[in-house]
């Protein structure tokens, strides 16, 4: 499975370590909150709200360079809008991969 990376954040920071640190801190705070909200709505089978959560999480997925996972999330989000949960296992795997990665930063 593809692994997250900081290429985009490095490019964006242009060597500004304070900014890089700040952004990573924000992602580390925001991602678990969004993930928790996602699982809450997914568990309650509130698929419209779940699609909103996936939409927001997609940005973090792309920031961390997970291109294939982004496509999976995109399809999953579209499916949720039609009350389909197809692809949720792969999406959950992506969330776990990101959670694991963030603990290393």
* 35 touches another protein by CB under 8 A: no
Number of amino acids touching another protein (CB under 8 A) = 25
* 40 touches another protein by CB under 8 A: no
Q: Taken in order 72, 75, 78, 81, is the CA torsion positive or negative?
A: negative
Q: Between residues 23 and 90, which has the closer beta carbon with respect to another protein?
A: 23
Q: Please identify which residue in 6, 13, 85, 102 interacts with another protein, judged by CB under 8 A.
A: 13
Q: What is the closest distance, in whole angstroms, from the C-beta atom of residue 88 to another protein in the complex?
A: 19
Q: How far apart are CA 101 and CA 63, in angstroms?
A: 13
Q: What is the closest distance, in whole angstroms, from the C-beta atom of residue 23 to another protein in the complex?
A: 5
Report the interface residues with another protein, using CB under 8 A. 8, 11-14, 16-19, 21-23, 25-27, 29-30, 52, 55-56, 58-60, 62-63
């Amino acid at each position: 499975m593809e692994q997250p990376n900081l290429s985009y954040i490095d490019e964006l920071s242009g060597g500004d370590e304070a900014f890089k640190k700040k952004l990573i801190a924000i992602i580390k705070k925001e991602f678990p909150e969004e993930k928790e909200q996602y699982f809450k709505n997914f568990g309650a089978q509130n698929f419209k709200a779940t699609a909103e959560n996936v939409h927001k999480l997609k940005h973090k997925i792309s920031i961390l360079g997970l291109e294939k996972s982004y496509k999976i999330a995109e399809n999953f989000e579209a499916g949720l809008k039609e009350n389909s949960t197809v692809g949720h296992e792969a999406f959950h795997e992506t969330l776990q991969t990101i959670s694991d990665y963030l603990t290393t930063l």
